Structure 1
Amino acid sequence: MLKEHLPWIIVAVVVLVVIVVGVLLSRSSGDAYHGLLRRGKARPPREHFRSDDDPSPVALKHAAVIINPTKFADLVAIRARITAGCHAAGWGDPVFYETTVADPGRGQARQAVHDGVDLVCSLGGDGTVRSVASGLIGTDTPLGILPAGTGNLLARNLDLPFDNIDTAVTVAITGRNRRIDVGELVIGDPEHDLDGDTRDATEPGDPADPEHPGTTTYHFLVMGGLGMDAAIMAGTNENLKNKVGWPAYMLSGVKHLVSPEFRTRVQIDNGDPFRRRARMVVIGNCGRLLGGLVLMPNARVDDGQLDVVIASPRGVVGWVPVATRIATRQRKGHPTLDHRTCQEISVRTDRPVPVQIDGDVVGEASSVRATVRPGVLTVRVSHV
């Protein structure tokens, strides 16, 4: 009898064992699963729920482009080129702002930073670059330079492309960050020195010096100057400049070779003041000019210093050796070409003289004070 039922008994035992083991394994794995949940490790990898053709979305970077609309006849076309350049680099649509007479770029740059863009580009001349940069000082948002002016001096000094907007866009998006210095120039009221208190004059967007209410504070990236160089800028014909470019400055320069001298009282850092007769005083953050000329061979945009050139040639003939020294980059030993370096300089003149900031004439003054602000601006430059 036992022999007859033995096979069935064995089958029943096997089935019972399988059921018991299955229940135990199920309970064990369930306990493990809930334990993993408690430790936050039970969620399968994200790719288990995603097909190969459904990649996770990546947040695109965005640039703000601040345009001087007076530089372009077809704004739609230039916007399309910039947008195409951003897309080609894997960035999203750029955000465009336009400068105005009341706000040539600083307010737009600050708004762009507030909006959280990854890059702020200036599209215009040196004045637009300066205004946009003034809104980025002290921030970590980099400045991209898309040159569209006559001089494009900062672009030249940073070896950036200044004659191809598409290449400039590529460098602005894919380049490396470089910290550079910024110059700060406080200009006194033409009828008063820096101790005057006649009025509160401010550049649009720039606060007046709180210690000297009768002053205006500007930032410069390339150079600030007073005397002949500012007179040249003021005397350059705009129509001619638009037609022939920077050679228009040369014609104005010839006209101003006999600009009258002015007496100066100069103080470098905390040194003793000294007096000079001068035709121009140039204070530079970098030294390269138009036409391949280098006024300040040792000037660097990130050396924490300002370079100063005081030129005092006598008459037209006196400019010949000065021009030779500038062309050959020789500065030492010439009696009418004084070259200094400093972190701060104050200049007072015996009468109001024209003043320029990065090529823009900002009026006349008889007192100026310039200081350097080391490394406060981030600029996007090429990797080479």
Structure 2
Amino acid sequence: MSDWTLLALVIALSLALIGVAVGLVLAGPGAARARHGRTRPQRSSFRRGEREERERRAAVIINPTKFDDVARVRAELTTASADLGWAEPLFIETTVDDPGTGQARQALEEGVDLVCPLGGDGTIRAVAVALAGTRTPMGLLPKGTGNLLARNLDIPMGADLAPALRVACTGRNKAIDVAWLELDPAEEPATDDSGQAEEPVEGPPVQRHPFLVMAGMGFDAAIMGGTSEELKARVGWTAYFVTGFRSIFIKRFRVRWSIDGADQRTVSARTILFGNCGTLTGGIQLIPSARLDDGQLDGVVVAPKTLIGWGSVAVRVLGRSEKDGNELIRTSGSVYTVAVDEPHPVQVDGDVIGEASRLRVTVDPQALIVRVAGA
């Protein structure tokens, strides 16, 4: 999920600056690298003709916590599938122990034509782990708080799931990048004067997490972890305003970082983010240069010292300015490393996954096929 915390802060600060009431709060394991041509399914796989002997079938991976009546949702999607000429979907529910990866692998074993995560960005991310590097496309049925991947791909959203299912079943294939974040990765072994590798540095097991929208360390992750599910259920994404105001001056931390092996100037930041796409709710572009299929990641350091500094960040983001400064630094690359003095919380697509003092972020270009609108 793109950084909802920064979005909340940007909008909240901007509204405060122009005197608008704050009542707005009460309103509404490593995938194989994909290559061009290798991951795109043959169009004939989704047309009548050679496979006319059987109906096409989708699997729907449901996060049951998003619905009061799962049976009603299943009936709605079964009817919508029949209207599109597809068989009754294979429905598999996520669990606390498995948020979607195992279910997606089960669906692949069943030989379905399409896998549709039905939930928020976390469910989509878990399903993507199984689908990345395969020829089976993913159809988005957004039903979370953020749904930022769906927003960046212009997938229909709302109470009625039929329009999104129509895009999933009849849309075109689009290959997008999958980003990976490692918590406290083992360090590269040092070399002696002759260039020979010394004994490898011992380190904790690598924890590698995928993300499709955005990941971050610091302020954004602290707010994600501090926003209650109850508040999000009541007021939606605006719930992040409340926690954002409480945490606006979280202590800055020293960041030593590199891009594609080149060391960057050490900065004192409130958060460091990595985006696979950059458009937030309302068309706000946090990272104007970010593209889902360019094989690059976009890194953002947010480092305001004062409220005025936060205001400067807000003006630049809301004004869609590509000009950066000391408070906002935007970069791009394919491999990022980050080291900080003490562990800080880390989030991927809105889910806090723990704390770390070092990160390594990489990207698999066009490793995942998703369905988008269009013939």
For normalisation by structure 1, the TM-score amounts to 0.78
Once the two structures are TM-superposed, the CA of residue 329 in structure 1 deviates from its matched residue by 1.7
Contact 1:65 1:95 in 2 (8 A): yes
Work out which of the residue numbers 170, 179, 182 in structure 2 matches 1:186.
182
The alpha carbon displacement at 1:291 in A equals: 4.1
Instruction: Give the Cα separation in 2 of the matches to 1:333 and 1:223.
Output: 19
Distance in 1 between residues matched to 2:54 and 2:61, nearest whole Å? 23
Counterpart code for 1:67: I
CA change 1:272–1:79 in 2 (3 A) is same
The residue that corresponds to 1:173 in the other structure is 169
Q: Which amino acid aligns with 1:373?
A: D
Q: Deviations over 1:225-255 (max 9, x none)?
A: 0111111111112111101101101111111
SS in 2 for 1:134: helix
2:43 matched residue in structure 1: none
Secondary structure at the counterpart of residue 144 of structure 1 = coil
- State the 1:350 CA deviation: 1.1
- Structure 2: how far apart are the matches of 1:156 and 1:334? 28
Aligned partner (choices 303, 311, 319) of residue 294 of structure 2: 303
Higher relative CO (Cα under 8 Å, sequence separation at least 6) belongs to: 2
Residue of structure 2 aligned with 1:369, choices 353, 360, 370: 360
Q: Which amino acid in structure 2 is aligned with residue 175 of structure 1? A: G
Aligned to 2:256, the other structure's residue is in SS state strand
Is the partner of 2:182 in helix, strand or coil? strand
Give aligned-pair identity as a percent.
51
Cα distance between partner residues in 2 of 1:333 and 1:213: 36
Question: Is contact 1:63-1:118 (8 Å) kept?
Answer: yes
Deviation per residue, 1:163-199 (Å, 9 max, x gap): 13111111111111100001010011xxxx6439xxx
Deviations 1:300-322 (A, max 9, x none): 10011000100110033320101
Ranges in structure 2 where 5+ consecutive residues have no aligned partner: 1-50, 189-201
**Partners of 1:239 and 1:94 in 2: how far apart?**
31
Alignment of 1:181-260 (within 5 A): 181-188=177-184, 194-195=186-187, 213-260=204-251
Please give the alpha-carbon distance, in whole angstroms, between the structure 1 residues aligned to 2:291 and 2:324.
22
CA distance in 1, matches of 2:373, 2:203: 40
Q: Give 2:217's aligned amino acid.
A: L
Alpha-carbon offset, residue 162 of structure 1: 1.8
* Backbone CA RMSD of aligned residues: 1.7
Q: Which residue of 2 aligns with 1:65?
A: 60
Judge conservation of contact 2:316–2:323 (CA < 8 Å) in 1. no
Partner of 2:316: helix, strand, or coil? Answer: helix
CA contact (8 A) 1:287 1:299 kept: yes
CA deviation map 1:279-314 (0-9, x unaligned): 000100000123432210110100110001001100
Task: Tell me if structure 2 keeps the 8 A contact 1:257–1:315.
Answer: no
SS of equivalent residue, structure 1 residue 149:
coil
Q: Matched residue of 1:274: which SS? A: coil
Contact 1:194 1:368 in 2 (8 A): no
Residue 259 (structure 2) aligns with: 268
Is 1:147 aligned to residue 138 of structure 2?
no
Q: Match for residue 14 of structure 2?
A: none
Runs of 4+ in 1 over 6 A off after TM superposition: none
Give SS of 1:141's match.
coil
From the CA coordinates, give the structure whose radius of gyration is larger: 1
Aligned length: 311
